[in-house]
Amino acid sequence: MGELTPGDQAQRAVLIEAFAAGPMQGNGAAVVELSQAARSEWMQALAGSLQQSETAFLWRNSDGQWCLRWFTPTCEVPLCGHATLASTLALQRWGLMKPGQELVLASRSGGLRVCVDPSTAGAASLTLPSEPLVAEPCPSYLAAILNAEAQGYWTSTLGYRVVLIGEDQSLETLAGVSERLQGPDRQGLVVMQALPADRPQRLLGQPCDYKLRFFAPGLGIDEDPVTGSAHALVAPWWAQQLGKTTLHGWQPSRRSGGMRCEVLQGLQVQLSGTGHVLWEGQIEAGAPGHDPGGWDVCRVSAA
């Protein structure tokens, strides 16, 4: 480890595998604690070095409220579920949040309510905004990529596209999807499927209701292992189809995982899951600088 030069600052950091059933599973997110709003260029460069699906940055504003931003290796994103879960568990690990305590983290997507589960170690919940799905004709090229005809195709203001395939198709064996996506589908394509009753997948002691995979090469993520924002987007649709408000979604990626989804009023979805710490230490990557306008991108009001 090199010595810090004048003006450098070491940033506390932890990598948490979120929405994971156990170690070496789920979706890794680095969480970095800042003393103040940092320059976007510095955060983006660090996220590129850490090479996680998302790196989350936390700091307190002048009112004492925690602020949160997320960066993939190539760009900033407006919403990220797994890195929000990881941030919640990081705050608890650092003694900045108590089990059972509820906080509102300010973000570009508004205030996000989070809570550490007081009864289950390494578990937390977060509430994300959802968006209506708008049905559209499915692009013809997708059938060849998915080896199946789509049973439905939707767009959303979140920027994600959603496609439904039949239960007789193999979601798990899909390969080479990202490199063949075209146009807006590259910004985030959710491929989802009902979970057949004769092949149950259990999560948190309950059978799962649906499964999905998520591809976003346009965001610098060929495939995201477990995607909270994607589950928050599609959970209301599954709730309507299945006639229930609480569901369990599974993501059969190479690093599989899942979450409990409770559909709330006002297009809100509470996601619950567990996380596991992979490493903890400090980042010595030069002075992050201060962005006096960095707070302007966030909204303080609770969603």
Instruction: Supply 225's token pair.
Output: 């292992």
Task: Return the active site residues.
Answer: 54
List C-alpha distances in Å: 170 to 124, 192, 242, 250: 31, 11, 21, 14
List C-alpha distances in Å: 177 to 25, 79, 140, 170: 21, 23, 14, 13
Separation of alpha carbons 48 and 55, rounded Å = 9
- Residue 284: its H or E element: strand 268-284
List C-alpha distances in Å: 124 to 132, 153, 215: 26, 32, 25
| DSSP class of 55 | E
